[in-house]
Structure 1
Amino acid sequence: MTTTHEFWLAGRRASGDGDFEVRHSFDGSLVGKVSVPTDAQVEEAVAAATAALPVFAATPAHVRAAALDHVSKRLAERTEEIAQLITAENGKPIKWARGEVGRAVSVFRWAAEEARRTNGETMRLDTDPGGVGRFALIRRFPRGVVLGIAPFNFPLNLVAHKVAPAIAVGAPIILKPAPATPLSALLLGEILAETDLPAGSWSVLPVPNEKMPALVQDERLPVISFTGSDKVGYQIMDSVPRKHVTLELGGNAAAVVLADYSSEADLDWAATRIAMFSNYQGGQSCISVQRVIADAAVYDTLVEKVVAKVQAQVTGDPKDDAVDVGPLVDENAAKRVESWVEDAVAKGAKVLTGGTRDGAAYAPTVLADLPADAILARAEVFGPVLSLHKVDGVDEAFAAVNDSAFGLQAGVFTHDLQTAFRAQRELEVGGVIIGDAPSFRADQMPYGGVKDSGVGREGIKYAMDDFTYEKVMVLTGLDL
């Protein structure tokens, strides 16, 4: 008998009046059923979070830090169990799922550390005659209850990036996991329930997407943290202009290989990283390598190496430790990628390897001569497909990176320090990775984009800032 997973309503288990299935994208097997909260239960969760706000905001730092430490420890203890669950519901290879759990362990640990050292700042005001005898203490306080909307591609770690900073600052959070991958978030709820966090300070509600507009509009939820598509993200922002909305959206990340990066070892490294990170997670990452922009001096050699290394990526059952590339999240996603590649080929692109679909799996694919009017040239593919582009010099390379509606991260393979600083200055992205693919992310660093890639930043300290506001207290009549 298949288990129906309960959800978490104000910190306790609950069941609704219906359920939906979660299936493994590789073989279609049933992973589990998930209970759906009723409208009344959603209202109960929002009311509980609203009531919990003053209590949670006033909790001592050690209480919040201890809870975060506990979550980190329990995730580490249950790594293999959780990794297997991620692979089952998401389809990502088990080795990448284990890495995701490890990242979430670190996210909660860093949040505990930040909760302990968030002290505010002081400012003497007698630097101007009008401020003689006055001293300011500046602290941060929660903006209110957070509505966290998580995507399917990292069903644990991107949930962690919403839950952990909210707990760290004492902001109640209502988490809405992706319908395709709710099980990891529900398991996280099981661990959160082991802590002493106040009742109502957190809920995990697998609400259907079609019922989300009402939650988004609810005035009791003044902060929305959304990770997902740019279309949905900006619809949310436009619908609630007076709310504090942070958006981590899409990209079509570029890896630039410049002329000075020309030794055999250099190009082997660049090709290895490009091949790996155009295909990891099935290409279902906002910073997956989608465009390779190579100087003419290294282009031909790089192409040969990239194609060989992409062909060496092991595909198959994601439960197999040897597999590098599993299926996409579902067959519809693979069909969309297939149609975009077909569009590119019809317009003149050449398939150097890949270009085939088998159910929900799409073969790691490399394209050359991609025309500018192809969908793949402008949009985010969110699949294991990369295109190769030849340029002459740094000017042309950086212009090609910036010729995009997106601006999340870019990788620049160069040894030249001046070029590295120029890249940070000129590239219209939120992050520049020198000497590696754009797909590198340390979870403690500020992460987010510009242009259509979103607003706000993830990374524990930076998300904590987004979830809070500065409040100043001025002391008067002091002998400084």
Structure 2
Amino acid sequence: MSATPFWLAGRAATGDDEIVVTHPWDGREVGRAAVPTEAQVEEAVAAAHAVRKKAAALPLHVRAEALAHVARRLEERKEEIARLITAENGKPLLWARGEVGRAVSVFRFAAEEARRWSGSALRLDTDPAAEGRLAYVARAPHGPVLAITPFNFPLNLTAHKVAPAIAVGAPVVVKPAPKTPLSALLLGELLAETDLPEGMFSVLPVPNDRASALTEDPRLPIVSFTGSGPVGYAIRDSVPGKHVVLELGGNAAAVVCPDADLDWAAQRTALFSNYQAGQSCIAVQRVYVVGDEAYEKFVPKLVAAVEGLVTGDPWDDRTQVGPLIGQDAAERVEDWVNRSGGTVLTGGKRDGASYAPTVLTDVPETAEVSCEEVFGPVLLVEKAADVDAAFARVNDSKFGLQAGVFTRSLDVAFKAQRELEVGGVIVGDVPSYRADQMPYGGVKQSGVGREGVASTMADYTYEKVMVLTGLQL
């Protein structure tokens, strides 16, 4: 099997080494990715640095049309790309198709935002000393962006970093996860079809142990990282002078109130604790049910909904839960569950890289499956005396990405908005909901900065003020 070339300053290239990509479901080889040499990495970074001024000066219509082209091409090739995601990541086609659809939207949103990317005027003569003065406030890119992307959404989380960079006129160097480089390389193929200048983008599938050469390079002043907390904070600490955006882990919680539709809450919680095999930062990991009566009614519904999920071969259109990214990941989840001290209501069994959707109760708060990010198809359900107690349990975490609150009460909804220590509160649904245009990110150890196209564009840029003097306003 020949290696897929990487993208060096917009051109296809090969190196001296390859990454073999295997399918998590059965371990077979599904592709190879060429790995750049150190000299080629240097060439890519130098090209991004060299083109930065030209990129910042690109007319908005050029940026917007490039982004719109990628959106169109993703749509045209959506089934092929979905199958590529399933091949390298193992997620069922159901979710892979959804990921492609979301990436289409991200590039479309970015094209729209690029056309609106404009400065603002501010009259300064509100004070007598500033008569005849007008401020024009624009935003300028910090410079080239280093985008480090994870394995769980190999296309869409790459899109969330690349599309806003192009929209603001910033070159971007992508380092995809070594386990799933093929989706990012295909995205590079589509970018190469545009009229973007040489050096505007590179996709470099280098091993993780070579990433420091990129993160520490002063010519890449923005580092946007999605992945584990220890790695993210190590990057931030190693480059104190850079602007670092971190989208890190979570252990997302949902609160089920007595006034909620318990059938809906059970179905949504069951599905979205296990979608992507639980390998999502906002997969439901903890559920707190308010009151004895609601708890007794909800738990059997939840267990039945989990047991009703279709698990198995990710190539089957009916499959909802497939394998984890590899057997080592499934073995870790198995170990955490076995050591949790909780009661297994369903699941709790591993088969190779797959782990059965699992519901636990009576889990000590200090157990890893409770206080860490399990990143697998495991769900804890516990009873809370009242809403205050449930919210306290949600907040008793070092993470704070998103939370879900199933309620019909506006008072409870706004109480959740006020009191929950998270970046997003989803009322009437699971914390796993994310619209790609909304601000998305966490607090505490869930990261710094925000994604969502417009939010990322702001994060990649700084305000630059010009004051005009001697005007008749």
Q: Secondary structure at the match of 2:211?
A: helix
CA distance in 2, matches of 1:429, 1:326: 29
Please name the residue that 2:263 is paired with: 268
Please name the residue that 2:402 is paired with: 409
Match of 1:425 among 399, 418, 431: 418
CA distance in 2, matches of 1:34, 1:78: 20
The residue type paired with residue 287 of structure 1 is I
Match of 1:281 among 254, 276, 279: 276
TM-score, length basis structure 1: 0.98
Match of 1:383 among 368, 376, 381: 376
Q: Secondary structure at the match of 1:5?
A: coil
The residue type paired with residue 359 of structure 2 is V
Please list, as runs of the form range in 1=range in 2, the aligned pairs for 1:432-447 lying within 5 A after superposition: 432-447=425-440
- Residues 331-389 of structure 1 show CA distances to partners (whole Å, capped at 9, x for unaligned) of 10000000000110xx3x10000000000000000001011121111100000000001
Gaps of 5+ in 2: none
- Residues 222-279 of structure 1 show CA distances to partners (whole Å, capped at 9, x for unaligned) of 0000000011111111111110000000000001001222xxxx11100000000000
Residue correspondences, number: 472
Please name the residue that 1:6 is paired with: 5
Please name the residue that 2:233 is paired with: 234
- Residues 15-39 of structure 1 show CA distances to partners (whole Å, capped at 9, x for unaligned) of 0101120000001110011111000
CA distance in 1, matches of 2:259, 2:205: 50
Please name the residue that 1:330 is paired with: 326
Please list, as runs of the form range in 1=range in 2, the aligned pairs for 1:30-429 lying within 5 A after superposition: 30-261=29-260, 266-296=261-291, 297-344=293-340, 347=341, 349-429=342-422
Q: Secondary structure at the match of 1:4?
A: coil
Q: Is 1:462 matched up with 2:458? A: no
CA distance in 1, matches of 2:44, 2:415: 49
Match of 2:467 among 465, 471, 474: 474
CA distance in 1, matches of 2:144, 2:205: 18
CA distance in 2, matches of 1:215, 1:189: 18
Please name the residue that 2:15 is paired with: 16
The residue type paired with residue 14 of structure 1 is A
- Residues 178-205 of structure 1 show CA distances to partners (whole Å, capped at 9, x for unaligned) of 0000000000111111000010000000
Q: Secondary structure at the match of 2:51?
A: helix
CA distance in 1, matches of 2:68, 2:3: 29
Percent of aligned pairs sharing the same letter = 67
CA distance in 2, matches of 1:11, 1:324: 37
CA distance in 1, matches of 2:39, 2:295: 60
Contact 1:252 / 1:289 at 8 angstroms: preserved in 2? yes
CA distance in 1, matches of 2:444, 2:276: 24
CA distance in 2, matches of 1:418, 1:64: 44
CA distance in 2, matches of 1:395, 1:322: 39
Contact 1:431 / 1:449 at 8 angstroms: preserved in 2? yes
Q: Secondary structure at the match of 1:22?
A: strand
Q: Secondary structure at the match of 2:437?
A: coil
Q: Secondary structure at the match of 2:413?
A: helix
- Residues 388-431 of structure 1 show CA distances to partners (whole Å, capped at 9, x for unaligned) of 01001111011010000000000000111011011001100000
Contact 1:125 / 1:132 at 8 angstroms: preserved in 2? yes
Query: Which consecutive aligned stretches of 4+ in structure 1 deviate over 2 angstroms post-superposition?
Result: none
CA distance in 2, matches of 1:449, 1:424: 14
- Give the drift of 1:98: 0.2
CA distance in 2, matches of 1:20, 1:478: 61
- Give the drift of 1:87: 0.2
CA distance in 2, matches of 1:208, 1:28: 20
CA distance in 1, matches of 2:360, 2:333: 13
CA distance in 2, matches of 1:163, 1:372: 39
Contact 1:259 / 1:393 at 8 angstroms: preserved in 2? no
The residue type paired with residue 455 of structure 1 is V
The residue type paired with residue 300 of structure 1 is E
- Residues 108-156 of structure 1 show CA distances to partners (whole Å, capped at 9, x for unaligned) of 0000000000112111001112211100000001101100000000000
CA distance in 2, matches of 1:215, 1:434: 40
Gaps of 5+ in 1: none
CA distance in 2, matches of 1:327, 1:394: 35
CA distance in 2, matches of 1:252, 1:151: 17
Q: Over aligned residue pairs, what C-alpha RMSD do you find?
A: 0.6
The residue type paired with residue 5 of structure 1 is T
CA distance in 1, matches of 2:12, 2:331: 37
CA distance in 1, matches of 2:144, 2:9: 13
Contact 1:407 / 1:449 at 8 angstroms: preserved in 2? yes
The residue type paired with residue 331 of structure 2 is K
- Residues 13-64 of structure 1 show CA distances to partners (whole Å, capped at 9, x for unaligned) of 0001011200000011100111110000000000000001000110100000
TM-score, length basis structure 2: 0.99
Q: Secondary structure at the match of 2:67?
A: helix
- Give the drift of 1:3: 2.3
